[in-house]
Structure 1
């Protein structure tokens, strides 16, 4: 809201009584029928009523001086605020015909943008103003009716949202299918309340329209760079945060940080999160964490049992590798429990709190990639635990003097290593066959060029002779 500077008092306004209304949630609002003014300030207090009178006169006088034509349906909203220990009155006008709010003076649009960058065109700003318009209707649903065309428009929008969510895996909808079905059932009931003063129906329509308009604004609806898929970034994807440290850690943890990063950045797009996709993402994380807990517990029992074998005590390399395996598995189990017990709580709050929590991690060495790195630790440490245990088991197997055991175990072990490495490389989009074909193609081209170069040099060195004429 803009600030109104009060410098006078009027008594004529106080003579017209304010209408006291009670909202659906029990909050009191005050409505002045003569000037069409809404406020949540206590107009029954004489001093507050005098200040309201001055603020109203100031607002209408400012609009008149700015040559702004005010339609009889235009409303004025006033809010009492404290700023730096000083009493001020915020205000805005509401135009129902254009579904916007406006002021009679220049107003900085940054608070309206809700953190969205790159807003330039008026057609785009219109959705931000319309979002605020529906917020006003939501705050003051009393003394107004629900137009039939608004109810029909709302139904069309929600029906489209439901169809888009059903047919597209990357739908922009912020609601689950169950919520959309509930919304449609409510909207069907609104048709009996159209063109009547039913504040609850007005509030329902305003709440839904606000969310839908906000979604259009955040996705640049009607703009050349409109977001068409929920995981589409409007500002371009950057790997700047993936520094050399992250890339080194990614190799050490078998590509798990990069896989977590790709999944994470499909959820957090342009510092914005869609509720339905975030819940699915968190549910998947919890399922993975439960699995890591089970695997870590099993591996821990295997390592302890392996160390209890009497013959292992005499083999120092196998014992050391088994110790390393145990430590890695314990690390995986501890990190998983910490993620479930502490981080999970921070990720279950409101989307605003979640985004603040994630953005707050950008101050670390890895930047925003700290979160994917943290999520990759249980898997990476568990894999290292398995690798160290496999190495300890290999020491025990290949230190035996039995030729039959070695002749069977060695090729089997080599085949397993090859298959595992093949799977790991393929999962990280590294294909040996493609690399080999590319290498052969380059070698063939270089060899051909070298042969052609030698042939040209040979031709240049051979003297050219011409037959003599008799």
Structure 2
């Protein structure tokens, strides 16, 4: 090391940071032909004694080491302890930590392990403690969540789930150090997934990140794993699932008064989405209000800047189906316009309709290519996609307009085609007959359109009136209960 270990060079770190760096910081090596040694053993003994360290391999292959030191602290590290001098450096940093514990009078729980990561070039050391009985991590002094990389939280209880997630990441990275606690964690996790499956089957907007089918598969997997709960292979995926559960509980504010009970429920104070008046005029006047539907759909997928895999995949599949249908309609109208050109009395209308169809087909092809690339993507991809398209000045208005263009162009092209057909049908009639025919037909069409609009947009009954009209409080279906507060259910 470049300097003597001291507490000034001791820095807190999160297990999630270690996990991320593990996958990003892969070292490249070169392989070459090698001589096979004589004898039955291909692996020679290490040239440097490990001095009581246990060297383990993660189920995915990464090597790590752990040892119970004379001070009673179990030390875990990914350092190459077989190299000369590395164990001495680790013990030197352990002595620094023990001095801090003595100076600050920090009570050290018995069921806690210390992780150390030495940085040879800077002479610093990262550390954290993992406490197995409380399933959390801690450091030797108070920290600001920003400085250590933890997310913003509402309360200490809320923050605890972020710490718990990092604890389970630690267990996932170093499974052999937590094997005695595996069976209890497995049994609890199975109960959680049983409830999650029932919740997904009885609710349209569950908050759990896995679907009912996925939960059923995990339940079966956990049941099969009970006889091997202490195996590092089992401990690894049990910890990975627990980290997902802790992350889910953090973002739903589990245990708080304002906890999220539905995936489309907003619980955070966020600024209202800004709307551009120009884009609003274009949406309502030129695009028949179609972008409003797409905008509402995007906003429902990005409540409190959270995305869920199941609703996202359902949205992508539905969008692809709509675009495929729109492609068929545009092609049919394009063919009709092509035949209309031969007999059209106002070619400009037909050419305009044909041009709109062509542009609509191009837009449909572009959107289909984009959406097909999003099939089977997860919530992380959905979050990036939605966040990139949620502009600070206009929200989802721009992307909503783009997605509504194929249908809007089809409507405009259809209107031009209908006007052309209407003109060809009635242009040969005498003026007096034209007037006597068109006015009654127009009046009937206006009445029919008004009736259709009324049927599609019924007047909303006031809540008080609907409650007074019945003698017994109405039953709320199970799938809708999550969308009502306790007070609403008790009215």
TM-score interval for Structure 1 and Structure 2 normalised by the shorter chain: 0.7 to 0.9
What aligned pairs does 1:287-326 form with structure 2 within 5 A after superposition? 287-309=321-343, 312=344, 315=345, 318-326=346-354
* 2:169 equivalent to 1:141: no
Decide which of 20, 23, 28 is 2:63's aligned counterpart: 28
Q: Report what 2:268 is aligned to.
A: 235
From the superposition, tell whether residues 138 and 15 of structure 1 become closer, same or farther in structure 2 (CA, over 3 Å). closer
From the superposition, tell whether residues 110 and 408 of structure 1 become closer, same or farther in structure 2 (CA, over 3 Å). farther
Contact in 2 for aligned 1:325/1:389 (Cα 8 Å):
yes
Contact in 1 for aligned 2:389/2:399 (Cα 8 Å):
yes
Residue 199 of structure 1 and its aligned partner are, at CA, apart by 0.8
Decide which of 366, 369, 379 is 1:341's aligned counterpart: 369
Residue 392 of structure 1 and its aligned partner are, at CA, apart by 2.1
Decide which of 223, 226, 235 is 2:256's aligned counterpart: 223
Q: Superposition RMSD on alpha carbons, in Å?
A: 3.1
Q: Report what 1:74 is aligned to.
A: 112
* 2:395 equivalent to 1:357: no
Residue 70 of structure 1 and its aligned partner are, at CA, apart by 1.1
CA distance in 2, matches of 1:200, 1:249: 57
* 2:82 equivalent to 1:44: yes
Residue 4 of structure 1 and its aligned partner are, at CA, apart by 6.2
- SS where residue 79 of structure 2 aligns? coil
Contact in 1 for aligned 2:53/2:65 (Cα 8 Å):
yes
Q: Deviations over 1:158-203 (max 9, x none)?
A: 1110110001111112112221111000111232234xx3111211
- SS where residue 202 of structure 1 aligns? helix
Contact in 2 for aligned 1:158/1:183 (Cα 8 Å):
yes
Q: Deviations over 1:398-453 (max 9, x none)?
A: 322268788667655664566557657876x5979x9xxxxxxxxxxxxxxxxxxx
CA distance in 2, matches of 1:328, 1:81: 63
- SS where residue 373 of structure 2 aligns? helix
Unaligned runs of 5+ in 1: 8-13, 435-470
* 2:145 equivalent to 1:109: yes
Mean CA deviation greater in 37-46 or 132-141: 37-46
From the superposition, tell whether residues 240 and 430 of structure 1 become closer, same or farther in structure 2 (CA, over 3 Å). farther
What aligned pairs does 1:246-395 form with structure 2 within 5 A after superposition? 246-251=279-284, 252-309=286-343, 312=344, 315=345, 318-342=346-370, 344-345=372-373, 349-363=377-391, 366-395=394-423
From the superposition, tell whether residues 49 and 418 of structure 1 become closer, same or farther in structure 2 (CA, over 3 Å). farther
TM-score scaled to structure 1, two decimals? 0.79
- SS where residue 109 of structure 2 aligns? coil
* 2:244 equivalent to 1:211: yes
Residue 281 of structure 1 and its aligned partner are, at CA, apart by 1.0
- SS where residue 273 of structure 1 aligns? coil
Q: Report what 2:127 is aligned to.
A: 91
Residue 241 of structure 1 and its aligned partner are, at CA, apart by 2.0
From the superposition, tell whether residues 237 and 404 of structure 1 become closer, same or farther in structure 2 (CA, over 3 Å). farther
Alignment: residue pair count = 412
* 2:190 equivalent to 1:155: yes
From the superposition, tell whether residues 209 and 112 of structure 1 become closer, same or farther in structure 2 (CA, over 3 Å). farther
Q: Which runs of 4+ in 1 moved over 6 A?
A: 111-114, 403-410, 424-427
Q: Which has the larger radius of gyration?
A: 1
Unaligned runs of 5+ in 2: 1-5, 11-48, 463-491
